[in-house]
Chain A
Amino acid sequence: DAMVIQNPRYQVTQFGKPVTLSCSQTLNHNVMYWYQQKSSQAPKLLFHYYDKDFNNEADTPDNFQSRRPNTSFCFLDIRSPGLGDAAMYLCATSRDRGRVGEQYFGPGTRLTVT
């Protein structure tokens, strides 16, 4: 089945130790998103790729970076995780049809910072 896959599902990292989260999709969607979701809150968009075009949200900290080497894969790099970065990180995809279509979310990676 076509889907959005995130690895790992759970990640524990130390304060200040770089970590990379990965997302892959078999939907062949041209738009990929990274969201941060904290407990009992709505998903917060960090950035998105439209094909290879990177779009950063104004309030996304510089500590967060992303790479999209090809259509199928997208990575979230947290250069120096702080305790406040502990959260669920959700990857999502959509097919751009000129207006926003439904988004397909992966299962998420729960990040713990010790």
Chain B
Amino acid sequence: GQQVMQIPQYQHVQEGEDFTTYCNSSTTLSNIQWYKQRPGGHPVFLIQLVKSGEVKKQKRLTFQFGEAKKNSSLHITATQTTDVGTYFCASRSSGSARQLTFGSGTQLTVLP
């Protein structure tokens, strides 16, 4: 089935530094979603990208969808301690339009 590879698995940054996580697929994705899961919490939807080359911003977060729709990235500028958590990308499963396949996640630690 469809797999979405996500890197890095872990990232430690100093508060104020930037952070980026990447998702890559061997197949073309119809869309990609990003979720954030705080420690001890549940995944919370951040954004969905659908169009080739799409870029969306939410305050310090910038989301990109590759031109070939096979990769995506989430970039956080000037991280804050509130950014701590695991960031997952997710895309529609090849088996069903209603199912998501999650990337393995990037666990972000922000050191004060």
Residues in A lying within 8 Å of B, measured CB to CB: 31, 40-43, 45, 48, 50, 55, 90, 92, 94, 96, 98-108
Contacts and interface: CB of A to CB of B under 8 A. Distances in A.
Interface in B65-99: 88, 92, 96-99
A107 B41 contact: yes
Interface stretch (B11-19, B42-50, B56-64): B42-50
B100 interface: yes
B20 interface: no
Contacts of B99: 45, 48, 55, 100
B98 A96 contact: yes
Nearest to B50: A99
Contacts of B30: 99
Interface residues of B, number: 21
Nearest to B92: A100
Contact of A98 (B33, B96, B97): B97
Given A90-B43, A104-B45, A42 B103 contact: yes
Q: Which 4 A-B pairs rank lowest in CB-CB distance, beginning with the nearest?
A: A42-B102, A102-B45, A105-B42, A100-B92
Contacts of B41: 107
B25 interface: no
A101 B30 CA distance: 12
Contact of B104 (A41, A48, A102, A106): A41
A90 B96 contact: no
Given A101-B48, A105-B43, A106-B42, 15 more contacts: A42-B88, A42-B102, A42-B103, A48-B99, A55-B96, A55-B99, A96-B98, A99-B30, A99-B92, A99-B97, A100-B31, A100-B98, A102-B45, A103-B33, A104-B45
Contacts of A48: 98-99
A19 to B, nearest CB: 20
B12 to A, nearest CB: 15
